[in-house]
Structure formats: structure tokens, C-alpha cells
Amino acid sequence: KIQRKLLSKFYEFAGIPEERTTIVGDGYDEIMGFEDFVVNFMENHPEDFVFLLVDENLDVVDDNSTRATISGSLCVENIRKRLPAKLERRMFALVRSANDSSSDIAIYSTRAHGFLPKAPIKRDKVLETLAPLWVGRFPPSEFGETIGFTSKDDILTAAVAVDNDIACTPYDIAQQIEFIETLFRDGKHISEIRLIHEQMHGLKGDLLTLNSTV
């Protein structure tokens, strides 16, 4: 549930209005039906550009309480294979994961159009992070102003306008806590205690600058 809330904020900070955002993954049926949902959505919106952000590890529990983990990047790969080339060209699909080794990133970049770390991204850095990936996927030489920007500089200029407030928000704190929780699940508190130390120290600093009015 927290991940879906974080994704909602991510899209908001990327400048995508709520009415043009769809977030799925609430339960077994939505996750297992994700590929069909996206393919149908693309087919029903052939003139739209679609930004797809998918977590790599999608945990599901069926009616028999059997747990399984679905690969988000594999879902994206299957979706791309099912779509006609014309529709696939209008999709921008990124995989979001805490596993960021060079081999992992290579896999994600093959299956999707790029990778986003699951580490917290401050709201004023969202567009800056997306800019090179977005322009790489939709080069102005091919798409012109169709996607709203003619260069990476245009996106970075828009990023400055998103928010110049350096204070942290509850969204930033939630991201950081979720990331630290992921590190513990991966056993980093045993193998990389210094990393845990650094992240906890960063969380402390963020809490001290928390803007409670946001």
C-alpha cells in the first residue's frame, strides 16, 4: 500500500496530473492481470504516450495463502512483445528496484527502457532524474515537440519550477523509511552495517527539516 502511495507522489512531482495516472497492484488479481491491463490500455489509447513505472519484485498471495514473487521487468518484456511496434514505440517503461548491480541494471534495461533506483528521490530531483531517460526514449529528432519537451534542458527547467523548497515532506520520509526497510530485508544490517548507518543518519537529518505543513 505504501508503495502505491509513493508512486502516486512520484507521478505528481513528475508533473503528471492525478486524472491521467493509474496505479495498480492492490492484491493478487491486479498483479496477475497487470500485463493484460496494460496491453488493453495501450490498445484503447493509441495516440497517447504512456509512462510505465514498475517495481521489480511484485509479491502476491493467492487464495491458498501461497506466496510468490513476480518479476516486474519480465512483465514489461512480455507486454512489449505483445504490443504492435507502433504502440510499443509510444511506451516509456522503467523498472524500479533496490537491486542496482551492473548485471541487474543490464537485465532491466534489456527488458524495459531503463532503470530507476528504489532509493529515495527528492521531489525537486524527480524530473532531473527522468530527463536523460525520457529524452533518450523520445529523441526530439524523431518526436519534435510531441512529448512536450524539445531538449533535456527544457525538462530540467521544468524541474526547477516543480518546487524550490528544500524542506523534507512526509513523502520524502516515507520513501526513506521504505528504503531502509528494504535494506534490512536484504540482510544489509549484517553485511553492510555502514550503509545502514549512513541511511539512518540521513533519515535523522531529513526529520529535522520536515515540513509539516505539506
Residue pLDDT, tens place only, 96-152: 987 888 999 999 999 999 999 877 677 778 888 888 898 889 888 777 655 555 455
pLDDT tier at 157, thresholds 50, 70, 90: low
pTM of the model: 0.70
The secondary structure of the chain, three-state, reads CHHHHHHHHHHHHCCCCHHHCCCCCCCHHHHHCHHHHHHHHHHHCCCCCEEEEEECEEEEECCCCCEEEEEHHHHHHHHHHHCCHHHHCCEEEEEEECCCCHHHHHHHHHHCCCEEECCCCCHHHHHHHHHHHHHHHCCHHHHCCCCCCCCHHHHHHHHHHHCCCCCECHHHHHHHHHHHHHHHHCCHHHHCHHHHHHHHHHHHHHHHCECCCC
Check residue 71 and give its pLDDT.
Answer: 95
pLDDT tier at 162, thresholds 50, 70, 90: very low
Say yes or no to pLDDT of 18 above 70: yes
